[in-house]
Amino acid sequence: MIGRSPTAALVAAAGACAVLALRIRRREQFKLRGRTVLVTGGSRGLGLALAREVAAQGARVAICGRDPDALDRARTALERIGSEVMAVECDVGDRAAVRAMVAAVSRRLGPVDMLINNAGVIEVGPAETMEVEDYEEAMATNFWGMLYPTLEVIPPMRSQRSGRIVNITSIGGKLGIPHLLPYSASKFAAVGFSQGLRAELAGEGVKVVTVVPGLMRTGSPRNAIFRGQHRAEYAWFSISDSLPGLTVGAEEAARRIIAGARRGDAEVLFPLTARLAAVLNALAPDLTAGLVGLAARLLPDPPSGDTGRRQGKESRSWLSPSWLTRLGDRAARRYNQVAPAEAP
């Protein structure tokens, strides 16, 4: 009998280890039924899609946001699918308010088993139109608004040696995006914190999952902030956020995120365009910088006059809304970005 070569034996062993690891991973998946999940920024957009996904899997759901009307609509929608829901008005950039909110959720629904840090703000426009306050606003929500809830849930998660902390960052936290500098800077901070915290909590039963999505159809441009030529800025941003092939739907994004969170993945990076951008930036930073610089030249120039702040819904033009933004406008209605009486 002829024995197998050492190479063949190594390949077979590696395959067996991979199968065993996959089985262990599946067995250790974090079950959501009967658990308490807190979703910040859960009243609309991706946050609402995530709340629906965990509710459908049997979790008790707490959502928070700053708009009481949007919160009430989201709570009603979640209750319709049979979920036990708690909606709390809270600014996640306010540490005292976050502490009170987490305590209230824990009293009513039980200790938080999964925290999804989703709350975020987006400021769009050329760097020279941005004020220091725009950077402060982005950091307050996108970084401090992630840190404060995390600090509140870590001690109980550590004591029960179980839990998930899911941080929604962005491809803008791995690759600097022109005309999104406050957002991108705050997301870089979020990615770094999330990755480092995972390492520190390793072995304690608490998994930190860094979610790095690319463009998603959540209807968010309507509530983003625009500076400079705000109508032109809103047009390119809302069109980009609507294009099939370059974007992923909010429900698909929510499924991918929750599946990765249950497995305890270190990173959930999607769609393919975001994966390719991250890989290209890591392997060829000079080439990536050149391509991004070329894209920046196609964006609107800074205006000579007014550079004030406008919301997306104040920045409509003949380009947006239009057939080019149809998918994004539909998402805005579906994910509570607009009141029922408002046009998209």
Distance CA 135, CA 115 (A): 25
Crossing angle of helices 285-297 and 272-283, rounded to 10° = 120
Distance CA 150, CA 165 (A): 7
User: Cis bond leading into 221, ω under 30°?
Assistant: no
Q: Which of 148, 183, 234, 335 is catalytic?
A: 183
Closest CA to 41 of 111, 188, 141: 141
In the residue annotation, 183 being an active-site residue is answered as yes
Angle at alpha carbon of residue 194, lines to 188 and 196, rounded to 5°: 105
C-beta atoms surrounding 320 within 10 Å: 24
Nearest 10 degrees: Cα torsion 183, 189, 195, 198: -110
Crossing angle of helices 181-201 and 145-160, rounded to 10° = 10
- Which positions are annotated as active-site residues? 183
